[in-house]
Structure 1
Amino acid sequence: MGSTGFIIISIVTSLLAFCLAAWLYDWVKKQPSSNSQILKVSSYISQGAATFLNKEYRVLAKFCGVVAALILIFIPVPIWKGSFLLNLQMAIAYILGAIFSAAAGKIGIAVATIANVKTAEAAQKDIRHSFLCGFRGGAVMGMAVVGASLLGVSLVFLLTDDTTILLGFSFGASSLALFAKAGGGIFTKTADISADLVGKVELGIPEDDPRNPAVIADNVGDNVGDVAGMGADLFDSNVASMAAALVMGAALDQTMGGSKNVSMVFCYAALGLLASIIGVATARMGKNDNPTFALNSSTYVTTGIFAILTAVATAIFGLEWRIWGASIVGLLVGVVIGIASDYFTDDRKKPVQLTANASESGPAFTILSGVSYGFVSTLPALVGIGLSALISYKLCEPLGMDYALFGISMAAVGMLSIVGMIVSNDAYGPIVDNARGLAEMGDLGDDVLEITDSLDSAGNTVKAITKGFAIGAAGLTVIALLGAFISEVNVAAVEQGLVAVGEKYLNGFDVMDPAVFFGMIVGSAIPAVFSAMLMLGVNRNAQRMVSEIHRQFREIPGLKEGKEGILPEYDRCIELATAGSIHELIPAGLMTIVATLLVGFIGGVKAIGGFLTGNIISGLLLAIFMSNAGGLWDNSKKYVEAGNHGGKGGEAHKAAVIGDTVGDPFKDTAGPSINTQITVVSLVASLMSGIFLMFSLL
C-alpha cells in the first residue's frame, strides 16, 4: 500500500474519532440535571468562558492575519524571488492550522461547561456514574483534538505533497496554542490566586463559597486554561511531531525511492488514534471505586493496544522494525515520565507529605521544600527524554545517518500516539474540579462533596502525569524539529546554489563555533524571560482582582455575612480577568518570535541551531520544574485540608495555601506554556531557514 492509502486510512480514523466524540457529547448532554442553583451558576461559567474565548480569538485573529500577510510576502522565499502560488499555499495552511487549533478549544469549552453540571448531579447517585460523566466529557475533547490534528495534517499533505507547507500548518497551530495557553493560564491563575488569598487566607471561608466574588471567575478559568488551553497545546504538539517526522521521512523517501517512511508516519499516527478510541470507549471505574486507578489503567491499556496494533501493521506491510522500536521507546518513556511526575505530586508519596509537614514551620519552608523537590523532579524526566532520543538514534543509526534523526522523530510520534487518551484524562481534571464547586454552591450535601473531592483528587494526580507527558512529548518533538530545521536548511542551500545537489550545508552544530555558542546562550535565556513575563502578568492582574474583591466585601451590605439574596458582582471579576489576560498575553509570545528572528539575522543558520539547542534544554528544565513544583504545592494544600497537620484553618494550612498560590502560575501558566514556546521558535526557525541563509550579518 502506498502513502496515499495510509493517508486515506488516517482520514477515515479521524472521522471515526469525530463520530465517537459526537456520541459521547450526546450521552453527557442527556444525563439528568435539575438543581436550579447549579444550573444558574453553570450558566455564569458558560457565559464567562464563551465571552473570554470570543474576545481572545478576536485579538488572535488580527495577529494571525498580520502573520499570514508576512508569510505571503516572505515565506518560504520572498515573493519577488519565488512562487506566488507556493507562498499563498503557505499562508492558507498557516490560517487553517490556527482555525483547527481554535476549534479544538471551542469544542472543549462547549462540552466541559455541560459536563461539570452532569458530573455534580450524578454524584448524588454514585461515584461510578459521576466519574463516567466527567471522563466522557473530557473524552469529547480528546477525540476532537486528535481527530482534528490527524485530519488536518492528512488533508494538507494529500492536497499539496509539500512538507514545507505542512510546517506552515503546524506553525498556525503552534502560534494559536502559544497565545491560547498563555492567555488562558493568566486568566485562570488571576482568579484562583485572588479567590484563595482573600477567601481562604484572609476570611477563612471555603474554597467555593458563593460569597467570594472571584469564585465564578475561578471556575471559568479552569475551563479556558485547562480545557481550551491544554487542548490547543496538545493539538499543537501532535501536529508538530507528525510534521517533523514527515519532513525527514519525505526527504528519506526522495533519496531512497518509494514512500515507505511517509507511510509509516501516517500508519502509526492512525493506529495511535484508533488505540485511543478503543481505550476511551471501554474506560470504566472498577468495583474498588478508585478513580485514579481507572484513569491510569485506561492509559496503560491504550499503550498496550498501540504497541500490538503497530507491531501487527509493521509485520503485514513490511515496515522497518527498528523504526517501530524507536516509536515504542518514545511511548514507554512517556509513561515513565508520567510516573515520575506522579511520584513528586501525589499526596500519598513522601515529597508532598514532607512539604505539608514543613508547612507547620511557616510558608518560607513550604516554598523551600516545593522548589527543592521541583528541581529534583527534573532529573528523571530529562534523563528519560535524553535516553529516548539516544536509544532511538542508536537503534536506527544502522539504517543510515539520516534514519537516526528520523528515529527520534518517530519516538516523538510514538510518545504522542496515545494523546487522545492523555487529553481525555487532562480535560477530566477541570470538569470534576468545577463539579466539586457546583456541588458546594448547589448545597448537595456532604456525601456528594466527598465523592466530588475524590474525583477532584484523582484529577489533580492524573493532571500532573498528563502535564509531564505533554512536556516530555514536546521535548522529543522539538529535538525532531531541530532535525527538520537541518533538512530545511540543506534543501534551501541546494536551491540557492550554496552547495551541489547531494551535498549538505549542515550536518550538525559545533558548540565551539562562536556563532553557535552565541545562539545557545541567548536561546537558553528566552524560556526564563518568557516565564517571568507571564507570571508578572498574573501578578499584576491578581493584584487588581484582590482590590476588586475587597471593594465588593466593603461596599455590598450583607455580602460578607452571607445574607440570603445578597450576591457578589461575579461579572466584574470575570471582566477584569478577561481584560487583563488579553492585555498580557501578546507581549510574551511576541518576544520569543522576535528574539528568534534577531538571532537568525545576526548569526545565520548556525546561530539559530545553537539558539534552538539552548532553548530546548533550558525550556524543558524550567517546564518540568514549574509543572511538578506547582502540582506538589497544590496537593500539599489538599493533604493538609484532608485533616493532616491541623487541617483547615491552622497555621500549616495558611502556609500551604501560600505555597499553592505561588505554585498556581508555575503549573498552570508558565510551565505548560514553555513547551509551546519551544515548538513555536523551532517552527519559525525552519520556515525562515531559507531567508536566514540569504540575509545574515555573520
Structure 2
Amino acid sequence: EDDPRNPATIADNVGDNVGDVAGMGSDLFGSFAEATCAALVVAAQSGSLIAQGGWAGLMFPVAISGGGILVCLVCSFIATHIQPVKKEVDIEKVLKVQLGATTILLTAVVYILAYIFLPSKFQIQAVSGTVIDFTPTKAWGCTIAGLWSGCMIGFITEYYTSHSYKPVREVAQACETGAATNIIYGLALGYKSAILPVTLLSVVVYLSFYLGDMYGVALAALGMLSNLSTCLAIDVYGPICDNAGGIAEMAELPEAVREKTDALDAAGNTTAAIGKGFAIGSAALVSLALTAAFVTRTEVLENGVNLLNPTVFAFLLIGSMLPYWFSAMTMKSVGIAAMEMVKEVKRQFDTIPGLLEGTPGHAPPDHARCIKISTDASLREMVPPAILVMTAPILTGMFFGVEAVVGLLAGGMASGVQLAISASNTGGAWDNAKKYVEKGGLYIDMPKRDEVTGEIMRDEFGSPILVSVRQRKGSECHKAAVVGDTVGDPLKDTSGPALNILMKLMAIISLVFADFFMSINNGQGYFNIPRRVF
C-alpha cells in the first residue's frame, strides 16, 4: 500500500487528505451552517420570541455556535498542556477526555446562554399552526439532548468499528474460512450497527419535538454540532497519522519509527470512526430541521399531510429509493476511477524499466499522472449524482406540489440515514479487521505437522492435533481481510459520507425554492392533483 514503487501511493495519501480532512470538514461545517439556518428560519416565524426577546432572542442559535467554538478552543489545551500524551496507551484516552470535557463544559455554557438570550417565557409557532409555550430550560434541554446524543452515537460507532471490541474481531475471525464469510459477517455487522444510533436519534427527535416542536428539533441539531471544532480536530487526527506512517515506509525509516506511527494510526482509526458516526447523526437531525423549516415556510401542515394521500405515499417511496440510486452511482464512479488507476499503474510497471523489481537507480514512478487521473475522474463522475440530488426536489415541487416534496424528503431521510450508517460501519469494520490481522491479533487452529516429514500429527484417537497459529501479513486470512477492506473503502469513504449530502442538500434546495413551489397553483404543482386518500 505504501510501497515507494507503487505509482498510486502518493495519490492514496492525497486522497486521505481530500476525503477525510477537506471532505469531512466541508460536510460537518455545512451541517453546522444549515442547522443554524434552520433554527433561525423557525424562530423568525415566532412573533412572540421576537417581541419579547428582541434581536437577542432570535440570535440564540448563533450564540450556541459561538459558545461552542470558544469552549472547544479552551478544551484544546487539555491535550497540549493539562494531560499530554506520555505513552502509547494515553493516545485514545487523551482524545476521549478532551471530547468529554468539551461536552460537559458546553452543557453548562448552553444553560447560561439560554437564560441570557431568551425571555423567561415566550411562545413559538408550531408546525401545525398553533402556538406552544417555551422557556429557556426547554431550549437548554433540546440542545443538550442533541449534544449528548452526538457523543453517544460516536462511541456506538466506535464499538462496531474498532478491533478492540467483539464485533470487529468476529469479522476478523470470519476471514479464517475465506473472503466470502468475511463479506457476509461485515454486511451483517453494518446492518446491525444501525439499530442503536437510529433508536437514539428517534428518542432525541421525539424529546426535542415534545419540548419545543420543530424549533426544539433545530436546537437539537445545533446542539449535536456545537462541539464541532473538537470533533473535527479529533477526526482529522486519523488521516494525518496514516499519512505519516506511509511517509515513514516510503522513506525506509527505521522500524521503530514505523511502530510509533502504527500506534498513532491505530488510535486514528477509532477517532475516524467516531467522526463518521457523528457526521451521519448530525446530518439526519439537520435534514429534519431543514424539512421543518420548509414545512413552516410553506404552512403545508395547516391542511395536513396525510400518508394515505396517494401523492404523498408515492413520493415517500420514491424518496426512500433515492439513497439507493445515489449510492449505486457513487459506487460505480469509484469503480470506474479505480479501473483507470489500475490500468495506469500497470502501464508504468510495463514501461518504466526496473520499477516493479525495485532495481537501484530506476526512474521514479509518475505520481502526478495518477493524481490527475483520480482528480479528473472524481470531478467527472460527480456530475450525475449532483444532478439527481438537485433536480429531484425541484421537479417534485414544480409538478406535484409541496405535499409531495414533504413525502420525498421524509422518505430520503428515513432510508438515507440507515443506509449511511450501515455503509460507513461495514467499511470501517472491514478496514479494522484487516489491521487486526496485520498486527497479529488473530489466531486460528491449524493441524500440527511433523518438523521432519511435514505430515499432520494425530492423537491416539486419530484426530489431528491442533495448534493456535498467529496470522500475519501474507497469510490466507490476511488475503481474505484485504478483499473485505477493498470492498469496504468505497462504502465508508464514498457512499456512506455522500448520503449525508443527499439528505441535507435535498432539504436545503426545497427550502430555497419553497416560495416558488407555493406560487404554482397555491402549492399544488402544475399537475394540480386533487387531494384524495386511499
Q: How do residues 537-556 of structure 1 correspond to structure 2 at under 5 angstroms?
A: 537-556=333-352
**Of residues 12, 18, 42 in structure 2, which corresponds to 1:224?**
18
CA distance in 2, matches of 1:411, 1:352: 31
Are 1:468 and 2:268 matched, yes or no?
Answer: no
Per the TM alignment, residue 256 of structure 1 is displaced from its structure 2 partner at its CA by 6.1
Q: How do residues 266-281 of structure 1 correspond to structure 2 at under 5 angstroms?
A: 266-281=62-77
Q: Which runs of 5+ in 1 are unaligned?
A: 1-206, 397-403, 491-503
Structure 2 equivalent of residue 250 of structure 1: 44
Q: Deviations over 1:164-189 (max 9, x none)?
A: xxxxxxxxxxxxxxxxxxxxxxxxxx
CA distance in 2, matches of 1:329, 1:419: 15
Q: Report how many aligned residue pairs link the two structures.
A: 472
CA distance in 2, matches of 1:218, 1:318: 49
Q: How do residues 679-690 of structure 1 correspond to structure 2 at under 5 angstroms?
A: 679-690=504-515
- Classify 1:275/1:426 alpha carbon distance in 2 versus 1 (closer, same or farther; 3 Å): same
**Of residues 516, 524, 527 in structure 2, which corresponds to 1:691?**
516
In structure 2, give the amino acid aligned to 1:417: S
In structure 2, give the amino acid aligned to 1:270: G
CA distance in 2, matches of 1:506, 1:458: 51
Q: Deviations over 1:249-282 (max 9, x none)?
A: 1111467623354232122111111111112233
CA distance in 1, matches of 2:429, 2:211: 36
CA distance in 2, matches of 1:303, 1:367: 36
Structure 2 equivalent of residue 349 of structure 1: 165
CA distance in 2, matches of 1:577, 1:668: 14
Per the TM alignment, residue 557 of structure 1 is displaced from its structure 2 partner at its CA by 1.6
CA distance in 1, matches of 2:208, 2:398: 33
In structure 1, give the amino acid aligned to 2:415: S
Q: How do residues 340-489 of structure 1 correspond to structure 2 at under 5 angstroms?
A: 340-396=156-212, 404-489=213-298
CA distance in 2, matches of 1:318, 1:605: 32
Q: How do residues 651-670 of structure 1 correspond to structure 2 at under 5 angstroms?
A: 651-670=476-495
Structure 2 equivalent of residue 673 of structure 1: 498
- Classify 1:418/1:570 alpha carbon distance in 2 versus 1 (closer, same or farther; 3 Å): same
**Of residues 303, 306, 309 in structure 2, which corresponds to 1:513?**
309
Contact 1:240 1:477 (C-alpha < 8 Å) held by counterparts:
yes
Structure 1 equivalent of residue 375 of structure 2: 578
CA distance in 1, matches of 2:301, 2:417: 28
- Classify 1:513/1:256 alpha carbon distance in 2 versus 1 (closer, same or farther; 3 Å): farther
CA distance in 1, matches of 2:293, 2:11: 41
Per the TM alignment, residue 326 of structure 1 is displaced from its structure 2 partner at its CA by 0.7
Structure 2 equivalent of residue 210 of structure 1: 4
Contact 1:253 1:262 (C-alpha < 8 Å) held by counterparts:
no
In structure 2, give the amino acid aligned to 1:559: L
Secondary structure of the equivalent of 2:253?
A: coil
Are 1:599 and 2:396 matched, yes or no?
Answer: yes
CA distance in 1, matches of 2:161, 2:301: 46
**Of residues 353, 356, 359 in structure 2, which corresponds to 1:557?**
353
In structure 1, give the amino acid aligned to 2:366: E
Q: Which runs of 5+ in 2 are unaligned?
A: 120-135, 443-470, 530-534
Q: How do residues 39-188 of structure 1 correspond to structure 2 at under 5 angstroms?
A: none
Contact 1:252 1:261 (C-alpha < 8 Å) held by counterparts:
no
CA distance in 2, matches of 1:508, 1:214: 55
CA distance in 1, matches of 2:214, 2:412: 19
CA distance in 2, matches of 1:389, 1:505: 18
Per the TM alignment, residue 639 of structure 1 is displaced from its structure 2 partner at its CA by 0.3
Secondary structure of the equivalent of 1:283?
A: helix
Per the TM alignment, residue 505 of structure 1 is displaced from its structure 2 partner at its CA by 5.8
Are 1:526 and 2:322 matched, yes or no?
Answer: yes
Q: Deviations over 1:112-138 (max 9, x none)?
A: xxxxxxxxxxxxxxxxxxxxxxxxxxx
CA distance in 2, matches of 1:209, 1:465: 29
Contact 1:253 1:261 (C-alpha < 8 Å) held by counterparts:
no
Structure 1 equivalent of residue 152 of structure 2: 336
Structure 1 equivalent of residue 58 of structure 2: 262
Secondary structure of the equivalent of 1:454?
A: helix
Secondary structure of the equivalent of 2:46?
A: helix
Per the TM alignment, residue 315 of structure 1 is displaced from its structure 2 partner at its CA by 4.0
In structure 1, give the amino acid aligned to 2:338: A
Per the TM alignment, residue 561 of structure 1 is displaced from its structure 2 partner at its CA by 1.4
Contact 2:38 2:218 (C-alpha < 8 Å) held by counterparts:
yes
Secondary structure of the equivalent of 1:644?
A: coil
In structure 1, give the amino acid aligned to 2:375: T
Please identify which structure carries the higher helix content.
1
Are 1:640 and 2:437 matched, yes or no?
Answer: yes
In structure 1, give the amino acid aligned to 2:231: I
Contact 2:237 2:271 (C-alpha < 8 Å) held by counterparts:
no
CA distance in 2, matches of 1:395, 1:235: 26
Structure 2 equivalent of residue 292 of structure 1: 92
Secondary structure of the equivalent of 2:401?
A: helix
In structure 2, give the amino acid aligned to 1:278: V
Q: Deviations over 1:271-306 (max 9, x none)?
A: 111111112233243445321212111111111111
State the superposition RMSD in angstroms. 1.5
CA distance in 2, matches of 1:287, 1:559: 41
Q: Deviations over 1:460-511 (max 9, x none)?
A: 1111111101110111111111110011113xxxxxxxxxxxxx76465221
TM-score (norm. length: structure 1): 0.66
CA distance in 2, matches of 1:523, 1:313: 38
In structure 2, give the amino acid aligned to 1:597: I
CA distance in 2, matches of 1:432, 1:216: 15
**Of residues 392, 414, 436 in structure 2, which corresponds to 1:617?**
414
Which range moves more in the overlay, 311-320 or 409-418?
311-320
In structure 2, give the amino acid aligned to 1:631: G
- Classify 1:450/1:253 alpha carbon distance in 2 versus 1 (closer, same or farther; 3 Å): farther
Q: Identity percentage over the alignment?
A: 41
TM-score (norm. length: structure 2): 0.86
CA distance in 1, matches of 2:14, 2:303: 48
CA distance in 1, matches of 2:414, 2:304: 17
Secondary structure of the equivalent of 2:354?
A: coil
Secondary structure of the equivalent of 1:266?
A: helix
Q: Deviations over 1:565-623 (max 9, x none)?
A: 32222122112111111110111111111122222122200000000000100110111
CA distance in 2, matches of 1:601, 1:518: 16
Q: Deviations over 1:148-176 (max 9, x none)?
A: xxxxxxxxxxxxxxxxxxxxxxxxxxxxx
In structure 1, give the amino acid aligned to 2:161: T
**Of residues 403, 416, 428 in structure 2, which corresponds to 1:631?**
428
Contact 2:10 2:371 (C-alpha < 8 Å) held by counterparts:
yes
CA distance in 1, matches of 2:502, 2:169: 33
Per the TM alignment, residue 411 of structure 1 is displaced from its structure 2 partner at its CA by 0.5
- Classify 1:665/1:414 alpha carbon distance in 2 versus 1 (closer, same or farther; 3 Å): same
Structure 2 equivalent of residue 189 of structure 1: none
